[in-house]
Chain A
Amino acid sequence: MGFDLQFGWTGTVSEVVLGRTRAEGGTRSVSYRIGGGTTLPFLDTDRPSPSPLIAFECCDNPRIWSTIVRDYCGDLVNDPAEWAKTAETVYGADMVRLNLTSTKERNFSDVAALKKTVESVLSATTLPLIIEGSNEPKIDSEVFLACGEAGQGERLLLGTAEASRYRSIAAAALAYDHSVIAQSPIDINLAKQLNILLREIGVARDHIIIDPYTGALGYGFEYSFSAMERIRFSALKGDADLAMPMCCAPADSLTIKEVRDAPADARDEMAVQWEVYTSIAAAVAGAEIICVRHPRSVGVLKEAFAGLKSHSHSRTAEVR
């Protein structure tokens, strides 16, 4: 029929596995295989499009976390394990992204405590985890190794590798068979370069997630959207060094002017809408993992993705 979409793509987005179930040697109740796309997101009419995964972000030291989220979540923010569990059982997230913000404290050195935190979060939730380690070259190596070890067998997604600091994280990923998030500042060429660097030191393509950096709506999203679309095209045109699934983390949303200046009774909704509008656009541009910080964003996005992926069929249980 002449009215079908015709793109003539030849490439495929590579598949990446997140988490390991008991049967696979881990302890998660579910594992996800994302990627595998052969056209633009949600446009495959022959088979069910996968729903992007929604990762809820929590942290182990809420001091530098958004006050909006702190106010909304209450005491939970002081207990990462309980918080992660709530993300699974109450908020309905598909994954948990644990940000080890304690490493940002001046003179941080308690790596043993980090390990405990990761372990407690792993036992509190059955979901696959993203662990966001340190952001300080001096402690990176120790921190990532500790995380990697604590999550051995669980196929964690470790973040975040950047062109200027990727060795420590790659080493931990290689040692314990985890995957990594590779972030570059809204630039397709830099994204490709970083992936090549990672590959050269041994990280396999199916262990990399691209984070093209999400500028907040109104603060760079006009660039992020097109950077994501372009990365997806390159993948579909056959560039293996850009053919990894992408993630979107609109974390900047919670610090922008519109959200900060919103009247107290509308602040939550402003935060949610900012995350939701960004996330939906990003999912359409190609992001397959969406990381949000406001609990209320999770449900809204779930419903939206269910509507997007259906051309009228229902959700498939195991196959993601």
Chain B
Amino acid sequence: MALKALDIYKLLPKKNCKECGDPTCLTFAMKLAGGKADVDLCPYLDDEAKAVLGATTRPPIRRVKIGVGERAFGVGEEFVLYRHEKTFYHPPGILFKVSDTQSADEITQVTIRVRDESFTRVGTKLQFNGIAIENASGSKESFARAVATVEESADLPLVLISENPEALALALVQVGTYRPLIHAATQDNYKAMCALAKKHGCPMVIKADSLEGLVSLVKDCAAEGIQKLVIDVSPQTLGDFLVKSTAARQLAITRKVPELGYPVFLDTTKTGMQDAAIALGIVKYASVIVTNPLSPAQTKAALTLRQNIYTDPQKPIQMNPGLYRIGSPGKDAPVLMTVNFSLTFFTLEGYLESTRIPCFMLIVDTEGLSVLTSVAAGKLNETLVRDSLKKFGVENEVTHRNLIIPGYAAPLSGRIEEATGWKVMVGPRDAAEIGEYLYTEWKK
């Protein structure tokens, strides 16, 4: 059962020393009650209080940070089984796998790709998150060399894959301080692995065939003092992953089996079906996804799916309404009206930039709905356009009175003319045709 903030407060040291990152013990207690903080953040808690609070107040899925620096990413700290109940907060890291049997050149190429490659969708930069290095050779020297090769070209979060603690120990000599995720501790090697995790302070994957096996490993690792864990359900098939990851998530968020409250690891290269496994991992609770390097098409599809699933369905990503400039538009530049749905804004903006015609974008507040959707819902209407023209002072910016509206808003053109006194020009439906439209219709 969850404790109330006041009950928790009673157990805190009441020093108000701020070391937990909160201004007072009480605000920290409130965070704990909401499952938004970890008890470990307060250094002064006695063991008894920790024991009472630990199990009930920490987020049902612990947060685990992988890597250091700019590209480090945190996973876990999720609260629901279904995204429509709330939202998913921490998108899975997707890491490209290299093996220590590959040449240094090949390894460097993959590393540089992950370091440099990105693309922007809806104003957000999308990229892969790091490199997983596998000790396929069986030799600890080769493994250490491969790890060094990666490290030479980029400061990326790493997963070190080897069940041989000696190989890991050697690799960690070089990268231990960068908090790589080590994979994996099993029933057989966990003591040595825990010692490594402790020495370097890095997060660790535990791996077992069954959830029962994982729970017992979690307990074993806790006894060794290791809690920064990620779990690998070692799936036999995609279906097996789905069943186990769903069960682990359900048991964790209901706190029935708090030992399963850790982010989930998925190595898609073991499934024989990369794309299906990546898509499945993204929608069903994987937090660290390892894959072979992907083609440009796979890259875009995978990263776009991740972006979609980790977007709050209750709140479309929105722009602030207002008058935006493309280039340095003069008093005779065209004014194009559109809605404040980010996807619409960025799509139109992209095409407008490539026309190289300086212009104004008038963004009206449709509460984040797209053109067609807001027309269908009645949110985009003549009053809104009139008020927006006024509010954003468009009349002072241009000397003409011509407003280009989206093709899909054509049914509103007459009413907008009446309400605003501006001449309405109906643009194309598809923003891709805006360049041609401006050259033929505006310039003439």
Contact = CB atoms under 8 A, between A and B. Distances in A.
Contacts of B272: 307
Contact of A304 (B210, B212, B273, B298): B273
A8 to B, nearest CB: 11
Interface stretch (A119-127, A176-184, A214-222): A214-222
B283 A304 contact: no
B50 interface: no
Interface stretch (A148-156, A200-208, A241-249, A267-275): A267-275
Contacts of A219: 343
Interface in B180-216: 210-212
Given A277-B302, A312-B236, A300 B275 contact: yes
A276 B237 CA distance: 18
Interface in A80-118: none
A304 to B, nearest CB: 3
A273 B304 CA distance: 11
A141 interface: no
Among A217, A221, A307, the one with the most B-chain Cβ atoms within 10 Å of its Cβ is A307
B301 A274 contact: yes
A222 B313 contact: yes
A276 B239 contact: no
A303 interface: yes
Contact of B296 (A42, A266, A308): A266
A284 B284 contact: yes
B212 A277 contact: no
Contacts of B297: 262, 266, 269-270, 272-274
Given A3-B251, A229-B82, A281-B279, A222 B308 contact: yes
Nearest to A276: B275
A229 B5 CA distance: 34
Interface residues of A, number: 48
A5 interface: yes
Interface string B134-146: 0000000000000
B240 interface: yes
Given A40-B246, A222-B309, A258-B300, A303 B82 contact: no
A45 interface: yes
A258 B275 contact: no
A43 interface: yes
A223 interface: yes
Interface in A192-234: 217-219, 221-223, 225-226, 229-230, 233
Interface string A255-269: 001101010001001
Interface string B283-322: 1100000000001111011101101110101000000000
A167 interface: no
A266 B280 CA distance: 24
A309 interface: yes
A42 B307 contact: no
Nearest to B294: A273
B3 interface: no
B238 interface: yes
A interface secondary structure, majority: helix
Given A217-B308, A273-B301, A5 B432 contact: no
Interface residues of B, number: 49
A104 B272 CA distance: 43
Given A5-B243, A5-B250, A280-B280, A311 B432 contact: no
B434 to A, nearest CB: 13
Contacts of B300: 258, 270, 273
A285 interface: yes
Contact of A229 (B84, B276, B296): B84
A225 B283 contact: yes
Contacts of B305: 217, 221, 277-278, 281
B68 interface: no
B269 interface: no
Interface string B237-269: 111101100110011000011000000000000
Nearest to B296: A266
B247 A4 contact: yes
24 contacts: A6-B250, A42-B239, A43-B243, A49-B239, A217-B308, A218-B121, A219-B343, A257-B347, A262-B296, A262-B297, A270-B296, A270-B297, A273-B297, A276-B275, A281-B309, A284-B242, A284-B279, A300-B276, A304-B238, A304-B276, A307-B239, A308-B280, A309-B239, A311-B236
Given A3-B211, A217-B301, 17 more contacts: A3-B251, A42-B243, A49-B239, A217-B305, A219-B343, A222-B311, A226-B82, A269-B295, A270-B296, A270-B301, A274-B297, A277-B302, A278-B305, A307-B238, A307-B271, A310-B239, A311-B240
3 residue pairs, one from A and one from B, having the closest CB atoms: A304-B276, A273-B301, A222-B308
